[in-house]
């Protein structure tokens, strides 16, 4: 039995918590491309877009945005009131770049952007190489390892912690807080999950409050100090803005990169392609990483609100405040954009992907993530040429965050 159904009137049902579905959503995507690239996803209750051209265009379309409460009240939009038992979580999100639109978005993004441009993050390459090698030194003699915990997670977590100005030893605690917080984006969140995510948010803020106070009295050469002391348009950020931005950077700074590393190792090992060919030279290494991002993206859907009544090409209409789903993972497999879209081919001439989004919310960490992935994958396959799967990898129960629960390998 299929894990999904698509009807003739472009209504689809696919349960995001159904194991068969989230283990492999790609057959659903293939059928959407063939029959209904614009469809109403019953389980979410909104229209979604699976085509590359449409997703790419809508991410850049200023008639849609991530924020809506700057234009209308909850009551007017029929949105539920905030829940008091997730107040700490909501607090961390209050000034998240990801939930803001201009001008508030521009102000915060400008402040942190400089630290993440290619020229700046390129300087981290030697540090990332050293880190990757040290981690492998730690398990090489064992002949086997669970790669997510031992390798995929620590690299981006330590790198972003150090950039912000937190000690590397805090990295796994940050991963723990972040993992508990992002469960809030799962479909069908339970009360218990909400309480735990809220608890993690409160602990995280408590810890950061201490560090922010420290930096105020003793500035350092790190991003946290930069956020505290730099003025934008003659204004400094207040504590709530610093807190939200630091938490967003720390969480976004590793979640998707960890998943991409795991998914990439799986894609490469399952392809049977000789790894030395994949990492022969910087250009091929970069192309391999892009194909890994395209073939098995870590983030599969982002939503937008219609900021006005909108009519799209083809006559599809949305009312002010309506939500749409942009399916990055599906867009990357669109046969109209990619030849043999369901094949993993790091040598393809029509490469590209929307895994980092597009438009004003385009991932600020993309240059950093690309370097981390290039280094982590290249070093791994060079150091452990006999790397192979020890068990069939299983994805975690979170449709949006498409990443592995475990990745057991031998070498």
- Chain residues in the site for ligand HEM (CB under 6 A): 59, 66, 97-98, 109, 156, 160, 248-249, 252-253, 256-257, 260, 298-299, 302, 355-357, 361, 363-365, 368-369
Least spacing, CB of residue 104 vs ligand HEM, in Å = 11
The dihedral built from the CA positions of residue 131, 133, 137 and 140, taken in this order, carries a sign that is positive
Q: Give the nearer residue to ligand HEM in terms of CB position, either 4 or 396.
A: 396
Cβ neighbour number for residue 90 with a 10 Å cutoff = 14
Q: Give the nearer residue to ligand HEM in terms of CB position, either 154 or 253.
A: 253
Task: Supply the DSSP symbol for 13.
Answer: E
Residues 383 and 392: their CA atoms lie apart, in Å, by 22
Q: Where is 305: in which H helix or E strand? A: strand 302-306
Q: Give the nearer residue to ligand HEM in terms of CB position, either 6 or 147.
A: 147
HSE (side-chain half, CA atoms, 13 Å) at 343: 10
**C-beta of residue 60 within 8 angstroms of C-beta of residue 67:** no
Of 240, 235, 253, 51, nearest to 171 by C-alpha is 253
Residues 4 and 161: their CA atoms lie apart, in Å, by 40
Least spacing, CB of residue 160 vs ligand HEM, in Å = 6
Least spacing, CB of residue 326 vs ligand HEM, in Å = 8
Strands 408-410 and 388-389, bridge-based pairing: antiparallel
Q: Give the nearer residue to ligand HEM in terms of CB position, either 253 or 275.
A: 253
Least spacing, CB of residue 9 vs ligand HEM, in Å = 28
Least spacing, CB of residue 114 vs ligand HEM, in Å = 13
Backbone φ and ψ of 392, nearest 5°: -65, 120
Query: Closest residue to ligand HEM, Cβ-based?
Result: 365
Least spacing, CB of residue 208 vs ligand HEM, in Å = 16
Q: Give the nearer residue to ligand HEM in terms of CB position, either 36 or 55.
A: 55
- Total count of residues recorded for the chain: 411
Q: Give the nearer residue to ligand HEM in terms of CB position, either 102 or 385.
A: 102
């Amino acid at each position: 039995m299929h894990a999904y159904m698509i009807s003739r009137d472009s209504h689809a049902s696919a349960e995001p918590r159904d194991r068969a579905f989230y283990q492999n959503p790609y057959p659903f995507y293939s059928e959407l491309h063939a029959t209904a690239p614009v469809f109403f996803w019953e389980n979410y209750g909104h229209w979604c877009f699976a085509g590359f051209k449409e997703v790419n265009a809508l991410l850049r379309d200023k008639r849609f945005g991530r924020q809506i409460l700057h234009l209308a009240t909850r009551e007017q939009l029929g949105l539920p009131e905030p829940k008091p038992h997730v107040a700490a979580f909501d607090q961390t999100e209050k000034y998240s770049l990801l939930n803001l639109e201009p001008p508030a978005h521009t102000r915060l993004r400008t402040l942190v952007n400089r630290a993440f441009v290619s020229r700046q993050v390129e300087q981290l390459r030697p540090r990332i190489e050293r880190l990757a090698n040290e981690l492998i030194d730690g398990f090489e003699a064992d002949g086997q390892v669970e790669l997510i915990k031992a390798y995929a997670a620590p690299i981006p977590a330590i790198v972003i912690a150090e950039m912000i100005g937190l000690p590397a030893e805090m990295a796994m605690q940050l991963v723990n807080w972040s993992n508990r917080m992002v469960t809030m984006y799962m479909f069908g969140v339970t009360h218990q999950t909400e309480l735990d995510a809220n608890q993690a948010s409160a602990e995280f803020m408590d810890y950061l409050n201490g560090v922010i106070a420290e930096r105020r009295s003793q500035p350092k050469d790190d991003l946290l100090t930069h956020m505290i002391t730099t003025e934008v348009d003659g204004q400094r950020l207040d504590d709530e803005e610093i807190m939200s931005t630091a938490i967003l950077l720390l969480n976004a700074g590793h979640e998707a990169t960890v998943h991409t590393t795991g998914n990439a190792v799986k894609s490469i090992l399952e392809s049977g392609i000789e790894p030395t060919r994949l990492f022969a030279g910087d250009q091929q290494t970069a192309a391999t990483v892009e194909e890994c991002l395209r073939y098995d993206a870590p983030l599969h859907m982002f939503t937008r609100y219609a900021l006005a009544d909108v009519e799209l090409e083809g006559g599809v209409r949305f009312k002010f405040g309506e939500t749409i789903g942009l399916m990055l993972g599906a867009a990357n497999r669109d046969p109209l954009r990619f030849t043999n879209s369901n094949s993993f081919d790091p040598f393809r001439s029509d490469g590209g992907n929307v895994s980092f989004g597009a438009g004003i919310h385009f991932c600020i960490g993309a240059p950093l993530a690309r370097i981390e992935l290039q280094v982590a994958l290249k070093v791994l396959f060079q150091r452990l040429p006999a790397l192979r799967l020890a068990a069939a990898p299983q994805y975690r129960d979170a449709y949006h965050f498409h990443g592995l629960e475990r990745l057991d390998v031998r070498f």
